[in-house]
């Protein structure tokens, strides 16, 4: 009887030990399984976050480059407009009559009291440069108010052809309260006489 009880107690003790061992193994197995499942997911999440950060950086860089391109395009457009405004054509004929008409003002006895426009003889446009570049001086003498005289000068300077201001003389009688001035404006219109570049009959330039 005693032997049977001792044997039963031994079995119970061994069963308890094995139960604790199995419980420990179960906990280890569950921990290992959780780690095996969670680690790839965590790595995938980290990779996705890194990729998202990289893509966000590329998008920000692209937006910055696009803004810089737009700013430079606008600046280039402004420079083109300024350059076009500064360029002047050089025609192949004097066309001084057209310039004289552009500088003409109607004599109305209110703002303009007199005006004469005279074109001179064609001369070399510059001491150094192609011989074909010629210039026709045009002199405008007028008696008018200051605003009208200034408008004539502005029309000459804003012409689509190359017109240079050579002389400018505005005089006003201090005893005259009407504001009328005597103005003398001398400009020249540059043109290109290609005939001067043609070789002579003997073949000499």
Can you give the pLDDT at residue 118?
93
Q: pLDDT band for position 59 (50/70/90)?
A: confident
The predicted pLDDT at position 34 comes to: 67
| pLDDT tens-digit readout, 84-134 | 554 567 777 777 788 888 899 999 999 999 999 999 888 888 877 778 888
Q: pTM, whole model, 2 decimals?
A: 0.53
How confident is the model at residue 146, as a pLDDT? 92
* d(C-alpha 171, C-alpha 146), whole Å: 10
81 versus 145: the higher-pLDDT residue is 145
pLDDT band at 152 (very low <50, low <70, confident <90, very high): very high
Higher pLDDT, 172 or 55: 172
Q: What angle do CA 81, 85, 91 make, to 5 degrees?
A: 130
């Amino acid at each position: 009887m005693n032997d049977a009880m001792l044997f039963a107690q031994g079995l119970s003790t061994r069963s308890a030990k094995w139960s604790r061992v199995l419980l420990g193994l179960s906990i280890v197995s569950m921990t290992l399984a959780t780690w095996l499942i969670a680690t790839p997911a965590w790595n995938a999440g980290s990779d996705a976050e890194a990729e998202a950060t990289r893509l966000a950086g590329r998008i920000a860089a692209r937006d910055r480059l696009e803004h810089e391109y737009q700013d430079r395009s606008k600046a280039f457009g402004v420079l083109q407009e300024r350059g076009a405004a500064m360029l002047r054509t050089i025609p192949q004929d004097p066309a001084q009559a057209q310039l004289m008409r552009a500088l003409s003002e109607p004599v109305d006895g209110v703002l303009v009291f007199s005006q004469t426009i005279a074109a001179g003889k064609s001369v070399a446009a510059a001491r150094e440069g192609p011989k074909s570049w010629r210039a026709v001086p045009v002199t405008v003498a007028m008696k008018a108010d200051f605003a009208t005289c200034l408008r004539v000068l502005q029309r000459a300077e804003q012409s689509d052809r190359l017109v240079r201001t050579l002389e400018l003389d505005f005089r006003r009688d201090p005893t005259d309260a009407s504001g009328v001035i005597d103005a003398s404006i001398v400009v020249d219109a540059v043109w290109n006489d290609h005939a001067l570049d043609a070789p002579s009959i003997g073949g000499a330039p």
